[in-house]
Structure 1
Amino acid sequence: MNSSLDTQSGPLGPQSWSENDRLAALESYAILDTPTESEFDDLVRLAAETFGAPIAVVNLVAGNRQWFKAELGIGARELPLDVSICAHAILQNDFMVVPDTMEDSRFACNPLVTAEDGLRFYAGALLRSDEGLPIGTVCVLDRVPRPAGISDHQRLVLEVLARQVMVQLELRKTMVAQSIRADELSETIRERTIAMRELRSVEERYRLVGRATNDAIWDWDFASNQVTWNEALETVHGYAPDTVEPTGEWWIEQIHPDDRARVDNSIHAAIDGTADSWSDEYRFRRADGSYAAIFDRGHIIREDAGKAVRMIGAMLDLTERQQSRAELSMNEERLRLATQAAEVGFWDVDVIHDILIWPPIVKRMFGISADVPVSMLDFYEGLHPEDRPHTSAAFAAACEPEQRALYDVEYRTVGKEDGIIRWVAAKGRGIFDEMDRCLRVVGTAIDVTERKRKEAELYELNQHLERRVAEEVAEREHAEEALRQAQKMEAVGQLTGGIAHDFNNMLAVVIGSLDLLNRRVGVSDPRAKRFIDAAHEGAQRAATLTQRLLAFSRQQPLNPEVLDANKLVPNMSDLLSHSIGTDIRLETVLGAGLWRTHADRNQLESAILNLAVNARDAMPEGGRLTIETQNVYFDERHVAANFGVPIGQYVMITVSDTGIGMPPDVIAKAFDPFFTTKAVGKGTGLGLSQVYGFVRQSGGHVKIYSEDGAGTTIKIYLPRYIGEDAEPEGQWGSDLLLGEQKEVVLVVDDEPAVRQFSVDALTELGYRVLEADGAVAALRLLDAHPEITLLFTDIVMPDINGRKLADEARKRRPGLKVLFTTGYTRNAIVHNGVLDPGVALISKPYAIEELAAKVRAAIEA
């Protein structure tokens, strides 16, 4: 039995270790602040039962606290280190027993001891790491002193329990280490598996590349002087594998004698030196005795000491490339000479490396000498300050992958060396790789300074003319003369407009009816045929009179040329966009296979611009401006009814807006000189008059279609130019596509004469026909006659228009066929929101042959 306080040092002696080492040993077990575990809880219960003590703990002493892995009788998982009794056991470095703490000076001020019912007895065995460092204790405590201390058996139990705690801690530590090692081993196996897979993939790719490429790939092992070739040595150069000596000397012997020594020296210099790679060009003898131009390159593999052990390379056959390079050089020279003759300059921007390539002709446009190097900074600094924003934006749009816009701009330059301002027209396009990254932007540039000067002079001349007109109108004497002229032209315009609107429509019905009558009477009644011919001749003379009234002269100097309206209209897009503003959306509808015309380019552009500006003023709240091109053919009936131009083929340019429209009285005067609906000072009234005079003098015609509040459409018709490559003229077929009596057509038109002509024409074509003067009557007929095959309706009608009528009819008869007719062009109506794409439409006026074809197509659709 220990009967006295044991304060002797243990085998290591007091503090024979450093505190840092001890704390590191404790941390290595990763036990602090872990949850309770039954294995440790059982140990403290066994200790308490062995000593008959109310308190037992497995205590771990950290740097600033003592933490209990298991406790009995404490009620807490940790306590401050300054009240710790176990800390003294750590300092003592041995088993510690305190029979009565009140008699031990070390605990005289410890509140856990001095408190009422405080701790009066302590016995603890140290927990030691593998290195013998104390990390805590297994101890028992009592609130009454035990002067007799503890027995040997009790001490043995505490020491055994301490060893059991350490066994559990070491087991946990070992399991954690094994888990980490297992994870590391698993990761190592995974990485090795991936590496082996990648190695096999690389080897397979190398094998496939060796078979697929046209390059002769070689692998030279210096130790054995063994050279391995791929299949390209035979396919490209003709050497069968069994005829090739697999050595470096064989390869050297096939090099042209004039190149052999140079190549031999260069490759051995690279191998014997420290280079990582080698490349050279030479002539290589093929199996047939001819020589191939070769670019050869190889990679040298060295051991750690730097000695070359292996070299892998590929022979690129440059023969075809050199031939192509020579041809390309010749073509480039031809292109250079051609562009010099045309004064067109090519430019190339390397976007990735910010490199600009300009030939001398482009440098001259920026006032830079031919031998001076340039960069993109020279380009941007050379732009006129007013043109820099939109030019830079256009270039950025060409580089943007999502836009890929065509770079098409005109800008001014300020010469870097001479300070001269020049005008340049530039076009270009971006070149993108498979990753949608812009690599280059290439294009052309033309000096258009002279053209701009002439345009400015023409503009100044027009401005001067308007000023002169305004000054003369302001003067009383000249104003009276201008007023008399305006009144005279207004009278002519009223007469012409009235005849064009009313008399020509009636003539169309008259001539069409006579044509139908002539088909019905034929040669069976010669006398009646004479009467018909006489009436037809009179109607034609009346139509000719109307045509002459429409053809009053407009005098203006013209410079006609062969034009393609499908190129002219898109080229005006920027100008039109700037003129109409951002609140109006510009759309173009270009007809396929458009014919060419013969007209003055400047006057035509001015006419389109005038119409666009008028359309802009008619849409103060914004809207849509549509410009359309189309081929049209005018036969006798079209000419007589509406246009007053020679029969034949025409190019039609249509300008449509979604603006406020024009009432009939304004349309009638629209082309009269000096007539305008704009406020004083906002217009001269010469715009549409100039358009009309130009078109008429060019052998064409202008037509206005408008409804108050429903937009305006103006059509320009110019004669087709027939050149050596002209298309053959289209003709309406003479054979009519006839209907069947069982097919019933319902004709709806609020104009009686036009409706009657349509009824007669369709009857003549073999259809049963019903007629209605409006939508209400038409719907009643549809309900009463389920046999109706086709609804043939005008679009523009009072109350309910043709489109609404068709919608209501199809609600009742979903399978009903519908054919619309209107004075508006198909695309203009569609894009102004009147008709959806794909509906059947025939434009007024129409020939009986066209009517027959359209009706047949609508029924069979």
Structure 2
Amino acid sequence: MVVNPHRPTAQDREQLFALSLDMLCVAGLDGYFKRLNPAFETILGFTTEELLAAPFLEFVHPDDHDATLAEVARLAAGAQTIAFENRYRCQDGSYKWLLWTATPDPELPLLYAAARDITARKQDEAKIREQAALLNVATDAILVCDLVGQILFWNRGAEELYGWSATEALGQNGRSLLSPNATQAEFEQIQTHLLNQGQWQGELHQATKGQQRLIVASRWTVVRDADGQLKSILIVNTNITEKKQLETQFLRIQRLESIGTLAGGIAHDLNNILAPILSIAQLLPLKIPTADEQIQQLFELLQINARRGGELVKQILTFARGMESKNTVVQIRPIILDIQRILRETFPPNIELSVNIAPDLWTTYGDTTQLYQVLMNLCVNAKDAMPTGGRLEVLARNFEIDESYARMNLEAEVGQYLAITISDTGTGIPPMLLERIFEPFFTTKESQQGTGLGLPTAMTIVKKHSGFLKIYSEVGHGTQVRVFLPASTLQATASEQEMDLPMGQQELVLVVDDEAPIREITQQTLETYNYRVVTAEDGIEAIATYVQNQARVKVVLMDMMMPQMEGIMAIKTLRKINPQLQIVATSGLKVSDKISVAFEEGVKGFLLKPYTAEELITTLQGVLED
């Protein structure tokens, strides 16, 4: 059986023309519509008569006139139009986007055309472009990955944060690109949560194109298609690296504040322990004058280390609580030689140590303990930079800065300086890190090895001494740090030299302290220098003892921190009994408010434990002579 296909009749074509939802028309090359289907009236709102009465160009958006005329010219030349877009005015004054297909009649000056309203599509495209522009304006890194992690979208914020352009990033695996050190288990945990909850958020450690480490707050959201199937993953990453660094610094500062609080109590106890040790060390040579040279050297070593212990406690308080440091003329040579001895005893044998000090090295003015801290810290840093061994050199020279040098170094001033150079043959410091080494808490060491406070503290101390630091470093070759300190015009006093202390005239001194060793050794020291002594272990006993010996007591040595009755209350009571009584306050902790109150109550002097025999006798002599 053969079926003849139905051939469209003229009636079929007319019905199709009339019922089509697309806009169908016949137009002449004279610029007028010749025939329109009803869709024109439906879409544009004009009547057919209105559309036929005017040139069709009057309905075209002015910005599209030239393109429309050019397309008509192409049709007149015999070409066909496929997917030409322009805008037509509606009866209400708005415009609709139309997509045209047209063909010319080869025999007649007519054009047969069909147009489709694509206004909704154009609006969607504009919305998408607007959203894309907003994504690019966003400072957050926004990316879209498929279900296997391949990057499909990469905004400008991602380019700026990570350093890869969109061209470089698209098609790459997001995890391999941004989190190469992350484990498979970490991402499996994220994916499991994402599938169950539809979203995930947390912190990720990532890296940039330049291998800079980042911490980002990451938000992942599942994107589904119209059927509800998983399509892709939208990821928004915010750089919180600086915020996390500030949080870490804040926690460190809190810990330092806690250390400062603890340092006060610890310092008081340590000073009470060191006080009798130092006093005994100074008394032994006087009690055993016939001791041989070796024993005398041991006495001297005991004194030196007891003093250093006391200075170290003061330095802890200076750092933690901001106590005022004690400046004097300082000879750098003994400091360097002392550091050399310690380094030789503590550094590993694979580090060669060389020390070279100019014989005529000038003095400087400052705090001995703080300068000791600076040089020791720099030497330890140099050692840490040579984990497999190397050479550490300490060089101290006189250095005169002229105007030319000062102009090239803004921190320098014309004059005489001590230049102390500490050089190592270690790993060196990369240029990008060299700019940050003086930032508080910045460190390239492991968390258990460094706090990031050593170099900032050294810089602060050197600047406080009106000096400056210069650092030169080459990766793989080592680092050289030069410390410049202004030379002093004053002559240093020989601290190690024995001084002839004035002897007492049998004056009676009341020593008040809750620590028995301190009372005993202070009594022996005073008796050695021809003073008489009575003692009391707290404020209450001190008042009773003074009342019994009021006519004979010339000076009271009063500890400020004691149980039962504190020193301030005891001082006030004693001053009521005798307003002319001479009182010297002592304490293992220099708490400014208590000292101020003590002086307001008439205290004539203050001794910070552990004090030397020289400080004790000199202070008493000054009070008695006042």
Given the two structures, how large is their TM-score scaled by the length of structure 1?
0.24
Larger radius of gyration: 1
Give me the TM-score of the superposition, normalised by structure 2.
0.32
- Higher RCO, Cα 8 Å, sep 6+: 2
